[in-house]
Amino acid sequence: MEDIEIAQKNVLEPIEKIATKIGLTAAEIEPYGHDKAKLPLEALAKLNQNPAGKLVLVTSINPTPAGEGKSTVLVGLADALRQRQQRAVIALREPSLGPVMGMKGGATGGGYAQVVPMADINLHFTGDMHALTATVNTLAALIDNHIHQGNALNIDPKRIIWKRALDINDRALREIVIGLGKPANGEMRSDGFDITVASEMMAVLCLATSLTDLKKRISEILIGYTYDREPIYVKDLKVEGALTVLLKDAIKPNLVQTLEHTPAIIHGGPFANIAHGCNSILATEAAIHAGDYAITEAGFGADLGAEKFLDIVTPKLSKAPDVIVVVATIRALKYNGGQALADLKDESVSALEHGYENLHRHLQNMQRYGIPVVVSINHFASDTDQELAVLQDLISQEGLASAITDVHEKGGRGGLALADLVMAAAEDETPDYERLYADDETVTIKIRTIAQKIYGAADIELTSQAKQQLRQINKHGWNNLPICIAKTQYSFSDQPKLLGAPTGFTLTIRELIPKLGAGFIVAMAGSVLTMPGLPKHPAAEKIDIDADGKISGLF
Amino acid sequence: MEDIEIAQKNVLEPIEKIATKIGLTAAEIEPYGHDKAKLPLEALAKLNQNPAGKLVLVTSINPTPAGEGKSTVLVGLADALRQRQQRAVIALREPSLGPVMGMKGGATGGGYAQVVPMADINLHFTGDMHALTATVNTLAALIDNHIHQGNALNIDPKRIIWKRALDINDRALREIVIGLGKPANGEMRSDGFDITVASEMMAVLCLATSLTDLKKRISEILIGYTYDREPIYVKDLKVEGALTVLLKDAIKPNLVQTLEHTPAIIHGGPFANIAHGCNSILATEAAIHAGDYAITEAGFGADLGAEKFLDIVTPKLSKAPDVIVVVATIRALKYNGGQALADLKDESVSALEHGYENLHRHLQNMQRYGIPVVVSINHFASDTDQELAVLQDLISQEGLASAITDVHEKGGRGGLALADLVMAAAEDETPDYERLYADDETVTIKIRTIAQKIYGAADIELTSQAKQQLRQINKHGWNNLPICIAKTQYSFSDQPKLLGAPTGFTLTIRELIPKLGAGFIVAMAGSVLTMPGLPKHPAAEKIDIDADGKISGLF
């Protein structure tokens, strides 16, 4: 059965009933239809008066074409905790619309471990992405208009770094020339569109802790440089108020439910390479204060998303994670061990043992932060008993506990063993969270620390462009910011085909881009596509709707 | 007091209570927050079982910089009818976000005759504009991707007529080049962005009568031509289902209220020059069947919006208007009579008498359709008793009734005299609606009919480009569609500075553009800007929000 069919057969609880599970009344939430709601800032303030629950971070090995199911495990774990009478609340990223029209595969879990209404969440949801798109493009229009109207700020059109954005996979908009035609059409210059989730505005929204903080972050966004190479910020255009107004609803986290009616707060979805890849701070804080367990995740593998959650996001949260769950699959580990994609259903203990080094390094990395780690072995039908036994043995040799999860087929019931491990880990120890680096170290040291300790690199190398950018960053005093490395998600290294646990490589930093609104420096290790394309046969060709509004072909 | 301050001081009724005024329960609407809702298609079906009420079309003289206040009168009239114990329901267009960031002035009425929540309606509202933007750009991305992926349909990149869209005033995107850079970035070609409300997709949404009709209209959109000059439609790409899915919520009309708690259905907002300028058919039908009086309007002056409402929209409605209200102001008529903008507060009976010819022709035009016409003299503080008496006398010499309205200052109370006129006109006569032209006449005859009978033109002239396009239209059998003339709103003619009631001119048709999804042929009489720009000091510089979310500077 397709995911959307499972989702459509499910009878949702009214969103007001879900709200009561986190202690909010119907009047305290803003309904969007009968099964979605926004949590206004007043509701967040009320929640924050509650004691903090435990925070669980779900992450995974490096993604492979075999599929890992991180979001699915997250949903199943929360449902399982509810079955164990624990008040679990999910904090998850919201999906981007672009890929929905391109490739099969959403970000709302799968099978019997989904957040619903699945179609709405994957389409326009409550409009957050669209509000961001409008904000990004309003700023761009204001910049070009300023230049056209006399350019009092002396902005160099060749040094504008603020790009436009659409929540669409549109390869044709990656590199464009704008302002062609008549004089009234403005200054001609080269430009490009990113997908909205790759825009700094998304990261800004997700890291903002209040409307005031949001406006301050927006005002500090670096949009380009003058002809004299002096930085120009949004505040120089005096439009941070208007741009914040455009995000007045997008800042409010969204409340939905799982198929088993567990509350899920879904809010924000920055890319995990060019940005930090975690849902909003407001959503995570709400989940922390809305029950016994807040379950959140971070994009891609633990080298990207979890590292950023722990080094960039956690210092801004009221507490660090109490438990980290690392999701792995036999299939993906065998793929890491060299088995071909087509043969992954065939048993191969040797490929599994070889590929285990990928999981091993992620487990070592996560333990470095001083937080208890458990492993979810996400079960597939092709897994053999022998393979499962070998994997569990390898994990226990590290002194770690693992649970086989089968939430895709069984929902929360398939996650009970994992829930028990998580509860034990959360009670057993007082986490002694330790960051990987301090913000006041030099940019080079911060990058080298991540590259060596997390990626296993021998060293880092900056291109001449990156070195020049580093001088600018130091000159302007932007060096005291955390580092957000943009790199391929498929490998620990900067080379997508280097699977397993590569060592000895040099991580090349091509560019250093200050994101002053988000408050981090992006270090580009490789070319990261910030505007995806559509495949030869886009998913859009299969998606349909009947006369009664029933959708088909959406995954 | 600013409009937004008046709106913020008002205590709104819960949207469920507004719904009961049109016979719908809380379960039958889809709330968006506590003061907005969408009307699902099931709710529309329920409403359509009610008997039809009277339909009132509000239109105006040609717009001037002096301001006419058509939307304000519409809101005040509805509130006045409610004060007269008539169940009045508003059907209004929704505003575009782009101009909100550019120029002061919204589309939600003003003073004490507003629809609320004003800020929400003027910003993202319930996301309809953004859903349209996403749909327009998804289609564009699919077209360019098809060409990039082998171009099986043989689409000529130089003959693509489907443009991208944003709901932003962005002059720099009017003419662009896309697909620059690497081969993976697709085919390089010239392109441009329209403002979303100028896209055919908006007209398609507003003219659709069901999900099935929407999908059919989308499938028939002409997107370009092959290298062999054969037309290419959306259905050739097989993506009409996916695009309809993107509009599954946008097709549902939105319910809000006036400051006096009169139900207002606000839905769709196509440009009144490049498109037909009326709110959606679904919204108007809902209003017709939701009470005693449905009050709707059409964009710009009666030569543009009302002509299109009567010739394009009305044949698709269950009934024709019962009454037409033409809004005029002393100030605007004096401006039409040659008085300078700066001197409009000075009494000038001669300028008024001279400028009256503009109102006179609109009144004659509207009577041509066989529908009773009344006049609203929208009162300004600078109007003198002498001027008001002269104007009322001129109108009564035509055998028509007029009422002085003061709804901006007094709300519904300021529209009681107009409400009485409307009620009398609606009861007095059985309208004998007659269209201006039949669809099966030739394109040239249809255009000439509008130009001569409505605009007062001596004749029309087609450029050689328009003549060539006409041959294509006839060849492909697209000639049996109604005509949507794109022309300046400031004059009956195609020259913006020809005020009053010009005659003897030749209307030049530069282009004929088939809009096969919308189902009309756009005849371009002059250059119409489909992507506005921002002024030197955009409104965005004044808009702000405080820590508690209170907005200021929005009008």
State the Cα angle at A39 between A36 and A42, rounded to 5°: 155
What pLDDT score was predicted for residue B428? 67
What H or E segment, with its residue span, contains residue A265? strand A263-266
In a domain, A64, yes or no: yes
Average pLDDT score over residue span A158-171:
97
- Does the structure show a pLDDT above 90 at B527? no
State the Cα angle at A335 between A110 and A340, rounded to 5°: 110
Using the Cβ of B533 and the Cβ atoms of chain A, whether some distance falls under 8 Å is answered with yes
- Does the structure show a pLDDT above 70 at A105? no
Residues B376-410: tens digit of each pLDDT: 999 999 999 999 999 999 999 999 999 999 999 99
- Does the structure show a pLDDT above 90 at B9? no
Residues of A whose CB is below 8 A from B535:
149
Residues A28-74: tens digit of each pLDDT: 999 999 999 999 999 999 999 999 999 999 999 999 887 789 999 99
Please name the residues between 94 and 123 in chain A that touch chain B, using a CB distance below 8 Å. 97, 101, 119, 123
- Does the structure show a pLDDT above 90 at A123? yes
Q: Whole-angstrom Cα distance, residue B531 to residue B523?
A: 18
Judge whether B69 is annotated as a binding position: yes
Residue in this structure with the two tokens 């043992």, named with its chain if needed? A353
What pLDDT score was predicted for residue B441? 97
Residue of A nearest to B546 (CA): A212
State the Cα angle at A511 between A509 and A513, rounded to 5°: 125
Judge whether B65 is annotated as a binding position: yes
Tell me B532's DSSP state.
-
Within 13 Å and on the Cβ side, how many CA atoms surround B530?
Answer: 24
What pLDDT score was predicted for residue A527? 84
Burial class (CB in 10 A: 0-12, 13-18, 19+), B493: buried
- Probe site for chain A from B44, B97, B175 (most A CB atoms < 10 A): B175
* Residue that finishes a domain, picked among B216, B246, B276: B246
Average pLDDT score over residue span A443-450:
98
CB contact under 8 A, B211 and A547: yes
Q: Which two tokens stand for residue A131?
A: 């509000």
Q: Are B443 and B489 in contact, with CB atoms under 8 Å apart? A: no
Residue-range definition of the domain harbouring residue A510: 443-525
Q: Are A131 and A16 in contact, with CB atoms under 8 Å apart? A: no
Q: Which two tokens stand for residue B402?
A: 């007029």
Instruction: Based on the fold, state whether residues B97 and B37 are members of the same structural domain.
Output: yes
Nearest C-alpha of chain A: how many angstroms from B21? 20
In a domain, B404, yes or no: yes
Judge whether B532 is annotated as a binding position: no
Instruction: Based on the fold, state whether residues B390 and B279 are members of the same structural domain.
Output: yes
Please name the residues between 189 and 208 in chain B that touch chain A, using a CB distance below 8 Å. 190-191
Instruction: Based on the fold, state whether residues A120 and A212 are members of the same structural domain.
Output: no
Which of A148, A169, A185 is nearest residue B141 as measured by Cβ atoms? Answer: A169
Nearest C-alpha of chain B: how many angstroms from A345? 32
Average pLDDT score, chain B: 96
Residues A73-97: tens digit of each pLDDT: 999 999 999 999 999 999 999 999 9
- Does the structure show a pLDDT above 70 at A172? yes
Q: Whole-angstrom Cα distance, residue B90 to residue B290?
A: 10
The single-letter code of the amino acid at A321 is P
* Residue that finishes a domain, picked among A212, A246, A280: A246
DSSP string, A484-500: EEEE-SSSSSSSTT--S
In a domain, B207, yes or no: yes
What pLDDT score was predicted for residue A429? 63
- Probe site for chain A from B248, B255, B529 (most A CB atoms < 10 A): B248
In a domain, B348, yes or no: yes
Q: Are B344 and B334 in contact, with CB atoms under 8 Å apart? A: yes
Using the Cβ of A134 and the Cβ atoms of chain B, whether some distance falls under 8 Å is answered with yes
CB contact under 8 A, A172 and B248: no
Judge whether B67 is annotated as a binding position: yes
CB contact under 8 A, B245 and A551: yes
What pLDDT score was predicted for residue B210? 97
- Does the structure show a pLDDT above 70 at A428? no
Which ranges of B62-199 does DSSP label H, i.e. alpha helix? Answer: 70-83, 97-102, 118-122, 128-148
What pLDDT score was predicted for residue B1? 75
What pLDDT score was predicted for residue B3? 83
Domain count, chain A: 3
What pLDDT score was predicted for residue B106? 65
For A126, left (φ over 0), alpha (ψ -120 to 50), or beta? alpha
Q: Whole-angstrom Cα distance, residue A551 to residue B90?
A: 32
Residues of B whose CB is below 8 A from A551:
245, 248
Instruction: Based on the fold, state whether residues A354 and A400 are members of the same structural domain.
Output: yes
Instruction: Based on the fold, state whether residues A406 and A287 are members of the same structural domain.
Output: yes
Residues of B whose CB is below 8 A from A35:
none
Nearest C-alpha of chain B: how many angstroms from A146? 7
What pLDDT score was predicted for residue B429? 62
- Does the structure show a pLDDT above 80 at A555? no
pLDDT band at residue A357, thresholds of 50, 70 and 90? very high
Please name the residues between 13 and 72 in chain A that touch chain B, using a CB distance below 8 Å. 27, 30-34, 38, 41
Using the Cβ of B551 and the Cβ atoms of chain A, whether some distance falls under 8 Å is answered with yes
CB contact under 8 A, A545 and B211: yes
Label the pairing between strands A459-462 and A511-515. Answer: unpaired
Residue in this structure with the two tokens 């590292």, named with its chain if needed? A307
Using the Cβ of A215 and the Cβ atoms of chain B, whether some distance falls under 8 Å is answered with yes
Looking up residue B201, the CATH number of its domain turns out to be 3.30.1510.10
Residues of B whose CB is below 8 A from A553:
241-242
In a domain, A358, yes or no: yes
Helix (H, G, I), strand (E, B) or coil at A388: helix
Q: Give the number of beta-carbon pairs within 8 Å between A and B.
A: 259
Q: Whole-angstrom Cα distance, residue B255 to residue B406?
A: 25
Average pLDDT score over residue span A115-138:
96
* Residue that finishes a domain, picked among B230, B246, B262: B246
What pLDDT score was predicted for residue B471? 97
Q: Are A122 and A36 in contact, with CB atoms under 8 Å apart? A: no
Nearest C-alpha of chain A: how many angstroms from B43? 13
- Probe site for chain B from A246, A528, A530, A551 (most B CB atoms < 10 A): A246
Q: Which two tokens stand for residue B498?
A: 């020809």
Judge whether A210 is annotated as a binding position: no
What H or E segment, with its residue span, contains residue A75? helix A70-83
Using the Cβ of B527 and the Cβ atoms of chain A, whether some distance falls under 8 Å is answered with no
What pLDDT score was predicted for residue A353? 97
Nearest C-alpha of chain B: how many angstroms from A496? 18
Neighbouring residues of A475: CB distance < 8 A, sequence distance ≥ 6: none
Using the Cβ of A549 and the Cβ atoms of chain B, whether some distance falls under 8 Å is answered with yes
Tell me A156's DSSP state.
E
Burial B76-112 (b: 16+ CB within 10 A, else e): bbbbbbbbbebbbbbbbbbbbbbbbbbeeebbbbbbb
Residue in this structure with the two tokens 């509350």, named with its chain if needed? A263
Q: Whole-angstrom Cα distance, residue B258 to residue B253?
A: 16
| HEC profile of B413-428 | HHHHHHHHHHHHHHHH
Instruction: Based on the fold, state whether residues B407 and B482 are members of the same structural domain.
Output: no
- Does the structure show a pLDDT above 70 at B551? yes
Tell me B378's DSSP state.
E
Nearest C-alpha of chain A: how many angstroms from B450? 32
- Does the structure show a pLDDT above 70 at B105? no
Residues A233-274: tens digit of each pLDDT: 999 999 999 999 999 999 999 999 999 999 999 999 998 888
In a domain, A478, yes or no: yes
Residue of A nearest to B136 (CA): A168
What pLDDT score was predicted for residue A106? 65
- Does the structure show a pLDDT above 90 at B513? yes
State the Cα angle at B490 between B61 and B271, rounded to 5°: 90
Which of A130, A190, A545 is nearest residue B127 as measured by Cβ atoms? Answer: A130
In a domain, A553, yes or no: no
Using the Cβ of B550 and the Cβ atoms of chain A, whether some distance falls under 8 Å is answered with no
Instruction: Based on the fold, state whether residues A98 and A191 are members of the same structural domain.
Output: no
Nearest C-alpha of chain A: how many angstroms from B186? 5
Instruction: Based on the fold, state whether residues A119 and A153 are members of the same structural domain.
Output: no
Residues B212-226: tens digit of each pLDDT: 999 999 999 999 999
* % of chain A exceeding 90 in pLDDT: 92
- Probe site for chain B from A39, A217, A248 (most B CB atoms < 10 A): A248
Instruction: Based on the fold, state whether residues B203 and B225 are members of the same structural domain.
Output: yes
Residues A275-317: tens digit of each pLDDT: 999 999 999 999 999 999 999 999 899 999 999 999 999 999 9
Q: Which two tokens stand for residue A210?
A: 């209040």
Q: Whole-angstrom Cα distance, residue A281 to residue B116?
A: 32
Using the Cβ of B148 and the Cβ atoms of chain A, whether some distance falls under 8 Å is answered with yes
Residue of B nearest to A120 (CA): B249
Tell me B215's DSSP state.
H
Residue of A nearest to B36 (CA): A32
What pLDDT score was predicted for residue B104? 60
Q: Lowest-pLDDT range, A301-310, B213-222, B340-349, B422-431?
A: B422-431
Which of B31, B174, B544 is nearest residue A181 as measured by Cβ atoms? Answer: B174
Neighbouring residues of A430: CB distance < 8 A, sequence distance ≥ 6: none
CB contact under 8 A, A145 and B538: yes
Q: Whole-angstrom Cα distance, residue B99 to residue B104?
A: 8
- Probe site for chain B from A25, A135, A162, A173 (most B CB atoms < 10 A): A173
Supply the Cα-derived Rg of chain B in whole angstroms: 23
- Does the structure show a pLDDT above 70 at A107? yes
Instruction: Based on the fold, state whether residues A237 and A273 are members of the same structural domain.
Output: no
Average pLDDT score over residue span A228-237:
98
- Does the structure show a pLDDT above 90 at A103? no
pLDDT band at residue A554, thresholds of 50, 70 and 90? confident
**ipTM > 0.90 for the complex:** yes
Single out the residue of A93, A105, A102 nearest to residue A2, CA to CA.
Answer: A105
In a domain, A390, yes or no: yes
What pLDDT score was predicted for residue A6? 86
| HEC profile of B484-514 | EEEECCCCCCCCCCCCCCCCCCEEEECEEEE
CB contact under 8 A, B172 and A190: no
Better pLDDT: B8 or B208:
B208
Residues B280-329: tens digit of each pLDDT: 999 999 999 999 999 999 989 999 999 999 999 999 999 999 999 999 99
Looking up residue A510, the CATH number of its domain turns out to be 3.10.410.10
Instruction: Based on the fold, state whether residues B264 and B353 are members of the same structural domain.
Output: yes
Residues of B whose CB is below 8 A from A196:
none
How many angstroms separate the Cα of B161 from the Cα of each of A192, A535, B192, B197, B483?
Answer: 21, 23, 10, 17, 19
Residues of A whose CB is below 8 A from B169:
141
- Does the structure show a pLDDT above 90 at B129? yes
Looking up residue A422, the CATH number of its domain turns out to be 3.40.50.300
Judge whether B70 is annotated as a binding position: yes
* β-strand partners of B90: B264, B295
Torsion angle defined by CA atoms of residues B517, B518, B524 and B525, in that order, rounded to the nearest 10 degrees: 170
Query: Phi and psi at residue A438, in whole multiples of 5°?
Result: -100, 145
Using the Cβ of B151 and the Cβ atoms of chain A, whether some distance falls under 8 Å is answered with no
What pLDDT score was predicted for residue B135? 98
Instruction: Based on the fold, state whether residues B347 and B416 are members of the same structural domain.
Output: yes
